[in-house]
Amino acid sequence: MVEDREAVVLEEAMAKDEKLQESTTTYKKKGKKGKKGSKTKNDNKGSDGGIREYKLVNYEDLPDYMKENEFIQKYYRSEWPISHAFLSLFSWHNETLNVWTHLLGFLLFLGLTVMQLSDMPQVADLLGHLHGSFSPKAAGNVSLNQGSLFSLASPPNNHDHLQPDITSAHHRPANTATAPRWPFLVFLFGSMVCLITSSLCHLLCCHSRRLNLLLNRLDYAGIAVMIAASFFPPISYAFLCTPRWRFFYLSSISFLAVLTVLSLLAPKFTHGSYRAFRALLFSAMGLTGLVPAVHITVVNWSESRKMETMACEAAMATFYLVGTAFYVSRVPEKWRPGRFDMAGHSHQIFHVFVVAGALAHYVAAQLFLEWRDEVSCGGRT
Helices 290-299 and 243-263: crossing angle in degrees, nearest 10, is 170
Residue type, 137: K
Cβ–Cβ < 8 Å for 109, 196: no
202 labelled ligand-binding: yes
**Who wins on pLDDT, 303 or 365?**
365
Per-residue confidence at 119, pLDDT binned at 50, 70, 90? Answer: confident
Cβ–Cβ < 8 Å for 221, 282: no
Tell me the C-alpha distance between 154 and 367, whole Å: 14
39 pLDDT more than 60:
no
220 pLDDT more than 90:
yes
User: Once rounded to an integer, what is the mean pLDDT over residues 43-52?
Assistant: 50
247-264: pLDDT as tens digits: 999 999 999 999 999 999
175-208: pLDDT as tens digits: 454 799 999 999 999 999 999 999 999 999 999 9
> DSSP class of residue 170?
P
Average of per-residue pLDDT values in the chain: 81
Residue-level pLDDT at 197: 98
Residue-level pLDDT at 16: 56
77-117: pLDDT as tens digits: 999 999 999 999 999 999 999 999 999 999 999 999 999 99
155 pLDDT more than 50:
no
For the chain, the C-alpha Rg in angstroms (whole number) is: 32
Residue-level pLDDT at 21: 56
pLDDT above 70 coverage of the chain, percent: 70
SS3 150: coil
Peptide bond into 292 cis (omega under 30): no
User: Once rounded to an integer, what is the mean pLDDT over residues 346-374?
Assistant: 96
CB count in 10 Å sphere of residue 258: 12
Residue type, 167: T
Residue-level pLDDT at 8: 52
Q: Which of 366, 322, 350, 359 is nearest to 105 (CA)?
A: 359
Residue-level pLDDT at 2: 47
170 labelled ligand-binding: no
Residue-level pLDDT at 64: 94
SS3 186: helix
Residue-level pLDDT at 234: 97
User: Once rounded to an integer, what is the mean pLDDT over residues 227-232?
Assistant: 98
Residue-level pLDDT at 375: 87
Residue-level pLDDT at 126: 62
Cβ–Cβ < 8 Å for 108, 355: yes
Q: Which helix (H) or strand (E) holds 94?
A: none
User: Once rounded to an integer, what is the mean pLDDT over residues 288-317?
Assistant: 93
Tell me the C-alpha distance between 181 and 116, whole Å: 9
Residue type, 18: E
**Who wins on pLDDT, 223 or 166?**
223
Residue type, 318: T
Residue-level pLDDT at 131: 63
**Who wins on pLDDT, 2 or 179?**
179
Helices 243-263 and 209-238: crossing angle in degrees, nearest 10, is 170
